[in-house]
Amino acid sequence: MSEKDFLKQAVELAIENRKKGGRPFGALLVKDGQIIAKGVNNILTTFDPSSHAEMEAIRSATMSTRNLDLRGCTIYASGQPCPMCLAAMAFTGVSEAVFAFANADAEPFGFSSAVVYSKLHISEVEFIPFRKVDCGYSASQVYG
Protein backbone atom coordinates (compact mmCIF):
# COMPACT_ATOMS: atom_id res chain seq x y z
CA MET A 1 0.00 0.00 0.00
CA SER A 2 1.10 3.56 -0.63
CA GLU A 3 1.29 6.31 1.96
CA LYS A 4 -1.76 7.90 0.33
CA ASP A 5 -3.66 4.61 0.86
CA PHE A 6 -2.70 4.54 4.56
CA LEU A 7 -3.66 8.18 4.95
CA LYS A 8 -6.98 7.60 3.22
CA GLN A 9 -7.72 4.77 5.69
CA ALA A 10 -6.95 7.08 8.61
CA VAL A 11 -9.34 9.69 7.19
CA GLU A 12 -12.02 7.03 6.67
CA LEU A 13 -11.64 6.02 10.34
CA ALA A 14 -12.19 9.68 11.24
CA ILE A 15 -15.30 9.95 9.09
CA GLU A 16 -16.72 6.73 10.54
CA ASN A 17 -15.97 7.90 14.09
CA ARG A 18 -17.79 11.19 13.43
CA LYS A 19 -20.82 9.27 12.10
CA LYS A 20 -20.88 7.36 15.42
CA GLY A 21 -20.91 10.61 17.40
CA GLY A 22 -17.18 10.86 18.06
CA ARG A 23 -14.70 13.49 17.04
CA PRO A 24 -13.47 13.28 13.42
CA PHE A 25 -9.96 11.93 13.95
CA GLY A 26 -8.39 8.63 12.97
CA ALA A 27 -4.84 7.29 12.92
CA LEU A 28 -2.89 4.27 11.75
CA LEU A 29 0.51 3.15 13.00
CA VAL A 30 2.45 1.44 10.22
CA LYS A 31 5.72 -0.47 10.30
CA ASP A 32 7.39 -2.10 7.30
CA GLY A 33 4.29 -1.49 5.19
CA GLN A 34 1.97 -3.24 7.67
CA ILE A 35 -0.68 -1.65 9.88
CA ILE A 36 0.19 -2.56 13.46
CA ALA A 37 -2.44 -0.42 15.22
CA LYS A 38 -5.40 1.87 14.61
CA GLY A 39 -7.04 4.50 16.74
CA VAL A 40 -9.87 7.00 16.76
CA ASN A 41 -10.53 9.97 19.00
CA ASN A 42 -12.53 8.69 21.99
CA ILE A 43 -12.56 11.74 24.25
CA LEU A 44 -16.34 12.15 24.06
CA THR A 45 -16.99 8.58 25.21
CA THR A 46 -14.15 8.17 27.73
CA PHE A 47 -13.99 11.76 29.04
CA ASP A 48 -10.23 11.24 28.83
CA PRO A 49 -8.63 14.28 27.18
CA SER A 50 -5.65 12.14 26.14
CA SER A 51 -7.78 9.75 24.10
CA HIS A 52 -6.72 11.18 20.73
CA ALA A 53 -6.53 8.91 17.68
CA GLU A 54 -2.72 8.93 17.60
CA MET A 55 -2.53 8.20 21.33
CA GLU A 56 -4.96 5.30 20.96
CA ALA A 57 -2.92 3.83 18.09
CA ILE A 58 0.29 4.18 20.13
CA ARG A 59 -1.37 2.61 23.20
CA SER A 60 -2.69 -0.27 21.14
CA ALA A 61 0.69 -0.91 19.52
CA THR A 62 2.76 -0.76 22.70
CA MET A 63 0.29 -2.90 24.63
CA SER A 64 -0.01 -5.57 21.93
CA THR A 65 3.75 -5.76 21.31
CA ARG A 66 4.62 -5.24 24.98
CA ASN A 67 7.31 -2.88 23.73
CA LEU A 68 7.62 0.89 24.08
CA ASP A 69 10.00 1.16 21.14
CA LEU A 70 8.17 2.20 17.97
CA ARG A 71 11.22 3.17 15.94
CA GLY A 72 10.63 2.53 12.26
CA CYS A 73 6.91 3.27 12.58
CA THR A 74 4.98 5.99 10.80
CA ILE A 75 1.79 7.55 12.14
CA TYR A 76 -0.79 8.33 9.45
CA ALA A 77 -3.29 10.76 10.97
CA SER A 78 -6.37 12.45 9.61
CA GLY A 79 -5.41 15.71 11.31
CA GLN A 80 -2.20 17.44 12.30
CA PRO A 81 -1.04 15.79 15.53
CA CYS A 82 -1.31 17.98 18.60
CA PRO A 83 1.70 18.60 20.88
CA MET A 84 0.59 15.86 23.31
CA CYS A 85 0.49 13.29 20.52
CA LEU A 86 3.83 14.51 19.20
CA ALA A 87 5.33 14.05 22.67
CA ALA A 88 4.06 10.46 22.78
CA MET A 89 5.58 9.87 19.34
CA ALA A 90 8.90 11.27 20.56
CA PHE A 91 8.85 9.13 23.73
CA THR A 92 8.20 5.96 21.74
CA GLY A 93 10.50 6.79 18.84
CA VAL A 94 7.91 6.99 16.06
CA SER A 95 9.93 7.84 12.97
CA GLU A 96 7.50 10.00 11.03
CA ALA A 97 4.08 11.68 11.17
CA VAL A 98 2.03 12.07 7.98
CA PHE A 99 -1.31 13.88 8.15
CA ALA A 100 -4.12 14.89 5.83
CA PHE A 101 -5.31 18.16 7.32
CA ALA A 102 -3.26 20.88 8.99
CA ASN A 103 -4.52 23.07 11.81
CA ALA A 104 -5.40 25.77 9.27
CA ASP A 105 -7.69 23.29 7.49
CA ALA A 106 -9.39 22.28 10.75
CA GLU A 107 -9.73 25.80 12.20
CA PRO A 108 -13.02 26.73 10.44
CA PHE A 109 -14.63 23.63 11.95
CA GLY A 110 -13.32 24.15 15.50
CA PHE A 111 -10.83 21.27 15.40
CA SER A 112 -7.46 23.05 15.35
CA SER A 113 -4.78 22.54 18.00
CA ALA A 114 -2.97 25.74 16.94
CA VAL A 115 -3.82 27.43 20.26
CA VAL A 116 -2.03 24.65 22.15
CA TYR A 117 0.97 24.94 19.84
CA SER A 118 1.00 28.68 20.57
CA LYS A 119 0.69 28.29 24.35
CA LEU A 120 3.63 25.86 24.32
CA HIS A 121 5.63 28.14 22.00
CA ILE A 122 5.95 25.47 19.33
CA SER A 123 6.31 26.90 15.87
CA GLU A 124 8.07 24.02 14.12
CA VAL A 125 8.43 20.34 14.75
CA GLU A 126 12.08 19.44 14.34
CA PHE A 127 12.44 16.15 16.19
CA ILE A 128 10.25 14.07 13.88
CA PRO A 129 9.61 14.32 10.15
CA PHE A 130 6.17 15.89 10.02
CA ARG A 131 4.30 16.51 6.80
CA LYS A 132 0.93 17.08 5.22
CA VAL A 133 -0.05 14.85 2.27
CA ASP A 134 -3.15 15.06 0.05
CA CYS A 135 -5.50 12.17 0.77
CA GLY A 136 -8.26 12.83 -1.76
CA TYR A 137 -10.77 14.12 0.80
CA SER A 138 -11.65 17.71 1.63
CA ALA A 139 -11.66 19.13 5.14
CA SER A 140 -15.42 19.71 4.92
CA GLN A 141 -15.96 16.00 4.14
CA VAL A 142 -14.19 15.09 7.37
CA TYR A 143 -14.92 17.95 9.75
CA GLY A 144 -18.10 19.47 8.34
The catalytic site residues sit at 54
Helical (H) or strand (E) element with 87? helix 83-92
Distance of alpha carbon 25 from alpha carbon 27, whole angstroms: 7
Specify the pairing of strand 73-79 against strand 34-40.
unpaired
Q: Tell me, what amino acid is at 110?
A: G
Looking at the chain, the number of H-run helices and the number of E-run strands are: 7, 5
